[in-house]
Amino acid sequence: MPWRGQHVATAMELLQDSIPMVSLAVAAAALYARASSSLLRPGLPRLVTLLPLFPFLAAAPLAFTSSAILRGISAFFLAWLFTFKLALLAVGGGPLDPALPVLPFFFTALLPVKLARPSKAKPVSLVSCAVKVAVIAAVVQLYHFNARLHLYARLALYGVHTYCFLDLLLPVIAAAAGALGMQAEPQFDRPYLASSLRDFWGRRWNLMVSAILRPSVYDPVRARSGSPAAAVLATFAVSGLMHEAMVYYLSLRWRSDGVMAAFFLLHGVCCVVEGWCARRWAARLWPAPPRAVATVLVGIFVMATSFWLFFPALLKDGVEEKLLEEWAAVAAFFEDAVGKISS
């Protein structure tokens, strides 16, 4: 079919688009960060030597001019996580350590990986990965009927797709680290079982982000203010600003209306209120809801606020159409590859 050949060609373009150039450049940046940090003590001198890397990492994802997917992934890895890791490295904290061997340092710096002791590492479930691949394939096929779907049905598909994609991508990265002799901690822990918003954000959803925001934002703000509530709000505010930046990388248009930031500030406020209620439940002042009821309520709240604030911020300025086109190209590429192998 002509459309399939066009999508396969588009997918090949995405796979080749600046990947070697960006990979070499960021590897050189990581090598420079390791070498310079090993020569200087934490503090101002180390920070000064690392400062040139920050604008470079912010600009590197923009090299993927033809792919919103690659820009978004690389922005998450480099412009967000790597820059925060560098800031922590400058003060002698965080997951990066110049004493790490080169390969573990590269993996920790460039990818959403937190190296773990063997006792904390969990094997990647091939069954779980296969199920997520099947779900993503089914969702991509349903995108052909997007024009006929109700808005909420489309948003539900995007939510399922987002979770399955992230929960597939990050374990695959961890498996690659394991193949090279490194053990990585899991990045998701069944977020659909969260019994509270604090459980969802702090212990189940995208744990690499939590592991970075905790020492870089939460701990310093709590130490200075003495207020856990202020630290929680500051952490969610920073997360909201970084998600606003991720929206820019996807659309390449900076016309923010603050909706994405509002989503995270709302959840931050709700986490503070939830903690206040939990202290009263613990003191037996109020009856705590059963865990099953709490899990359902958390799921409904996350889904409703995502439909209201999170996904609309991602789907403006032509991003929705661009992402659907790219996912169709990826699906066509793999269908073509499977067809050639089977024949």
pLDDT in tens, 218-244: 999 999 998 999 999 999 999 999 999
Report the chain's C-alpha Rg in angstroms: 21
Q: Which residue has the tokens 């604090």?
A: 198
pLDDT band at 199 (very low <50, low <70, confident <90, very high): very high
Q: Are 180 and 273 found together in one domain?
A: no
37 and 104 together in one domain: yes
| Whether residue 34 is found in the same domain as residue 64 | yes
Q: Is the pLDDT of residue 2 over 50?
A: no
Are 68 and 43 members of one domain?
Answer: yes
Which residue type is seen at 119? Answer: S
The helix/strand/coil state of 115 is: strand
CA distance 163 to 58: 25
160 and 144 housed in the same domain: yes
Q: Which of 48, 82, 112 is the last residue of a domain?
A: 112
Q: What is the rounded CA–CA span in Å between residue 50 and residue 52?
A: 6
The per-residue pLDDT for 342 is 65
Give the range of the structural domain holding residue 87, as residue numbers without chain letter: 1-112
Looking at the predicted structure, is the pLDDT value of residue 3 above 80? no
Nearest in space to 176 (alpha carbons), one of 100, 106, 86: 106
Is 325:10 a contact under the CB 8 Å cutoff? yes
Cβ neighbours of residue 100 under 8 Å, at least 6 residues apart? Answer: 34, 108
Q: How many domains does the chain have?
A: 3
- Crossing angle (nearest 10°) for helices 83-90 and 102-110: 120
Report residue 112 CA to chain centroid gap. Answer: 8
For all residues of the chain together, what is the average pLDDT?
83
> Do residues 192 and 314 share a domain?
yes
Domain match, 71 and 141 both: no
Residues 88-140 have pLDDT tens digits of: 999 998 888 898 888 888 888 888 877 665 545 566 667 777 888 888 888 88
pLDDT score recorded for residue 35: 94
Do 308 and 256 belong together in one domain? yes
Residue 253 and residue 322 in one domain: yes
The residue-averaged pLDDT of 26-54 equals 93
What average pLDDT score do residues 190-213 get? 90
**Are both 132 and 222 inside the same structural domain?**
no
Percent over 90 (pLDDT), the chain: 34
Average pLDDT on 299-315 reads: 89
Identify the domain boundary among 147, 164, 186.
Answer: 186
